[in-house]
Amino acid sequence: MNKFHLKEIIRELIANKMNIFFITLALVFSLTAINTIYALGKSAERQILNTLANLNFGKDALLILAGGSRVMGITTTRSDTLKLDDIKAIAKLEFVKMTSPFTGGLVEVAYKDRAEKLRVDGVLPIYLEANNWQVILGRFISDEDIANLNRVVVLGYDIAKRFGSFNILGEKIKIQGHYYEIIGILEKKGSIGHFPLDERLFIPLTTSQRRLFNQDYLRGAKVILHEGTDLSIAVREIRKILRERHGLYGIAPDDFRIVTPDMVVARHTETSRTLSSFLLAIGFISLIISGVIIMNLMTASVEEKAGIIALRIALGATSWSIIKHYMIYALFIAIFSGFVGWILSLGVMLVLSKSTPLKPLFSWGTFLLSLLFSTITCIAFSIFPAIKASRIDPAILLKSM
C-alpha cells in the first residue's frame, strides 16, 4: 500500500459522498447511543461508589446488621441478639482496624413548636472516623458523654436546616419527652439511593440503649478492616464468631446479616444495570442495522464501479489487493464514524447532565470502545462486497464497451 493507493481510496470516498454520508450517519447514530448509554451507566455506578467511598464504605469495610433475612425486608429471625460484646469480640480480630456499633430507631423529636418522627442513632465517638465524617459546627459525642450517659445530640445537616438555623448549639430539643442539648452539626453527605444520610440525629450509644430505647442489643455495627484484607475471609471469620457466640449450629439460619460494599452497590445499581443492558442491546441491534446498510451501499458501489475494478484486475491487481482496497476503505469510514460518535455522545451527555442528576463521564476507554465497535461493524459487513469485487470477471470490459 503506497501513497498512490491511499490517495485513490480517499478520492473514491469523496466521490461517493452520498453513500459515505449515509453510512457514517447510521454508524454515528448507533455509536452515539451506545457510548452515551454505556458512559451514563458507568457514571451512575461511579456516583454510588464515590458516595460509599466518601462514607468510608468503599472497600475494606463491612456492615453487620442484626436480624437474619433471606432477602432485604422483614427479618425472619430474632433481631435482639446482637450485643456490644459481640462487636468487642470482632474488634479483637487481627484484621479489624476499628468497629463502630450503632443502634437506633424512629422516635418523636420536638423542637420549639414542631414535632416529627425522625431517625435517632446511638453511636460511639469512633463513628465519625468510621464514616469519614466531620462536624461543621460544635463537637461530636465524646468518651465522657458515653461514660456519663449524657443527654446530648448531634444533628445531621438536613435536620439542622429543617430546624431553620445553624445557630442552635447549646439549645435543647425534646427526644421522646426528654430534653437533649445540641452539641454539634455534621457536614452534608447526600444520600445513597433513596436513603437520606443527613436526616438523622446522633446521640451517645449508651444513652440510647439505657435511656431512650431501653434495650441492650444493637441494630448493627460497621467494621473497618486493615487495608488489603481479603473481604471474603473477613466475612467468613466474623460469621463464624457471631454464630458461635449466638449458639447457631448446623443449618440454623444466621440471626444477622453481613453487608459488603459490593452488595450495596449491586442493590443500588440493580435497576439501572438492567436498564442499561437493555438499552445497550438496542444500541447493538442498531449497529447491526448500520452494518446491513454498509453492506448494501458497498455492494451497490462495487456494482457501479465494476468496470474500473475489472480494469484493475485486467491490469494485474490480485484478488487480495482488491479486498484490501475495500477493507482500508471501510477502515477509513469506521475511524471517522467512531470518532464522531464518541464526540457526539459527549455532547449528548452534556445536555443530559443539565436536566438529570447524571454526570458526564469522559474516558478514553469509551473512545477506544467506540472505535473498536465501529471497526468491527465496518470490516465485518464490508467483507461480502469486497469479495464480490475481487471476483469480478475482467471479461466484462470487452462486452460493455
Least distance in Å: CB of 48 to another protein? 14
Residue 101 as a binder of another protein (CB under 8 A): the answer is no
Task: Find the binding residues for another protein in span 2-31 (CB under 8 A).
Answer: 18-19, 22-23, 25-26, 29-30
Residue 71 as a binder of another protein (CB under 8 A): the answer is yes
Chain centroid to Cα 84, Å, comes to 34
Q: Show the binding pattern over residues 289-328: x = contacts another protein (CB under 8 A), - = does not.
A: xx-xx-xxx-xx---x------------------------
Gap between the Cα atoms of 248 and 234, Å rounded: 19
Chain centroid to Cα 337, Å, comes to 28
Identified binder of another protein from the candidate list 35, 37, 86, 326, rule CB under 8 A: 37
Gap between the Cα atoms of 216 and 206, Å rounded: 9
CB atoms under 10 Å from CB of 117, counted, come to 10
Contact (Cβ atoms closer than 8 angstroms) between residue 185 and residue 201: no
Scanning 4-12, 43-51, 165-173, 283-291 for contacts with another protein by CB under 8 A, the matching segment is 283-291
Identified binder of another protein from the candidate list 79, 269, 345, 374, rule CB under 8 A: 79
Chain centroid to Cα 115, Å, comes to 37
CB atoms under 10 Å from CB of 73, counted, come to 7
Gap between the Cα atoms of 155 and 135, Å rounded: 9
C-alpha closest to that of 234 among 262, 266, 267, 258: 258
Residue 43 as a binder of another protein (CB under 8 A): the answer is no
Do strands 114-123 and 96-111 pair parallel, antiparallel, or not at all (unpaired)? antiparallel
Tell me how far CA of residue 167 lies from CA of 134, 199, 382, in angstroms. 17, 18, 71
Do strands 152-155 and 114-123 pair parallel, antiparallel, or not at all (unpaired)? unpaired
Task: Find the binding residues for another protein in span 241-260 (CB under 8 A).
Answer: 250-253
Residue 216 as a binder of another protein (CB under 8 A): the answer is no
Gap between the Cα atoms of 31 and 278, Å rounded: 15
Identified binder of another protein from the candidate list 15, 147, 285, 372, rule CB under 8 A: 285
Q: Hey, is 71 helix, strand or coil?
A: coil
Residue 390 as a binder of another protein (CB under 8 A): the answer is no
Nearer to another protein, 121 or 145 (CB): 121
Task: Find the binding residues for another protein in span 163-202 (CB under 8 A).
Answer: 193-195
Least distance in Å: CB of 72 to another protein? 7
Residue 144 as a binder of another protein (CB under 8 A): the answer is no
How many chain residues bind another protein (CB under 8 A)?
53
Nearer to another protein, 117 or 178 (CB): 117
Residue 72 as a binder of another protein (CB under 8 A): the answer is yes
DSSP single-letter state for residue 371? H
Which residues are at the interface with another protein (CB under 8 A)? 18-19, 22-23, 25-26, 29-30, 33, 37, 68, 70-77, 79, 105-106, 108, 115, 117, 193-195, 219, 250-253, 271, 274-275, 278-279, 282-283, 285-286, 288-290, 292-293, 295-297, 299-300, 304
